[in-house]
Amino acid sequence: MTPHVQKLQINYKTLEEFRKFRENGLEELSMLEDLKADLVEDHTDSPFYGIYEEGKLVARMSLYQINEKYDRYFEPPTTYHELMKLEVLPGYKGKGYGAQMVQHAKTQGLPIKTNVRLGAQDFFLQLGFKPVKYDPVRDRGENPYVWHPEA
Amino acid sequence: MTPHVQKLQINYKTLEEFRKFRENGLEELSMLEDLKADLVEDHTDSPFYGIYEEGKLVARMSLYQINEKYDRYFEPPTTYHELMKLEVLPGYKGKGYGAQMVQHAKTQGLPIKTNVRLGAQDFFLQLGFKPVKYDPVRDRGENPYVWHPEA
């Protein structure tokens, strides 16, 4: 089967796979603790999406839905997805998995905001994202890019 | 003179120096545009601090003051500094400049919150920072660590 994007579930296997990714911190640790303490069920929905190749998780991202009442990026304000932790494992880059993930995020029916990392500007520009006008109070050093389905 | 931390001013020379740093994005571009459009004066205060070695900016960070009414990290709520963009140029690492910058931030009289990057956890733990209890709604994938003068 062609590798495709799928929603990830919180379980021990997924959390073990997460350990291979660089951006693995308090969030993943908290998920593991919740699982151990039976605070979440095995297979609970997570904000993570990923691509498997031969049974191995090789790319992932998270999508958080932000309610329009907290929106400070779109005019008029809208509920949108914050895209974070987009990452493809070393050895699996150059296969278009990153773009495949972002394209999948676009199919979710909401505008998208992301904080673009060093060197990833061209990647997001090619995918139709645009830099916002920098606002020091709102952005405090972040590098926000947005995408809107109607743009 | 021993390299020491100093507050940076927004001027063409500083912004030219910023181009050597990896985390150079919309914020720095916006500062440059403001300078060109005479929206800020040459030598305006910036949120940036840095260390010069032989006239060259080799390390920097930014400190944003967050008012206690927006505080969601400390109990009771307090005005604090958000530490961002801590970066030492390649070739100048291993000289303690990163720690020198964080120590300087601690002397500013406020608690500090930062989002710890991949691999920097031990650095911040050694400097007395502590991971917070992860809150998915507040932290959305970030990796917040805090330091309080009284802890």
Q: Is B26 on the interface with A (CB under 8 A)?
A: yes
Which residue, among B116, B64, B114, B119, has the nearest Cα to B93 in the 3D structure? B119
- Cα separation, B13 vs A3, in Å, equals 48
The DSSP element (H or E) to which B33 belongs, if any, is helix B26-36
Domain A5-147 has CATH 3.30.365.10: no
- A contacts of B23 (beta carbons < 8 Å): 118, 141
* B118/chain A closest Cα distance in angstroms: 6
**Residue A46's pLDDT is what?**
86
- Cα separation, B120 vs B103, in Å, equals 15
- B contacts of A64 (beta carbons < 8 Å): 140-141
**Residue A133's pLDDT is what?**
93
Residue extents of the structural domains in chain B: 5-147
The DSSP element (H or E) to which B66 belongs, if any, is strand B56-66
* Per-position pLDDT tens, chain A of length 151: 689 999 999 999 999 999 999 888 899 989 898 888 888 877 777 899 999 999 999 999 999 999 999 999 999 999 999 999 999 999 999 999 999 999 999 999 999 999 998 789 999 999 999 999 999 888 988 899 999 998 7
Substitution target in A28, A80, A134, A138 with the highest count of B β-carbons within 10 Å is: A134
How does DSSP assign chain A, residue by residue?
----EEEEEESHHHHHHHTTSSS-SHHHHHHHHHHHTTSS-TTEEEEEEEEEETTEEEEEEEEEEE-GGG--SSSS---EEEEEEEEE-TTSTTSSHHHHHHHHHHTTSS-EEEE--TT-HHHHHHTT-EEPPP-HHHHTT--EEEE-TT-
Size of interface A-B (CB pairs under 8 A): 72
What pLDDT, in 10s, does the model give residues A7-24? 999 999 999 999 999 888
Torsion over CA: B54, B56, B60, B64 (sign): positive
What's the token pair of residue B97? 């400049």
pTM comes to: 0.85
Which residue, among A8, A10, A7, has the nearest Cα to A39 in the 3D structure? A10
- B contacts of A85 (beta carbons < 8 Å): 141
- A contacts of B44 (beta carbons < 8 Å): none
* A120/chain B closest Cα distance in angstroms: 11
What pLDDT, in 10s, does the model give residues A60-79? 999 999 999 999 999 999 99
Per-run averaged pLDDT (10 residues), chain B, 151 residues? 90 93 89 86 85 95 94 95 95 96 96 91 96 90 93 73
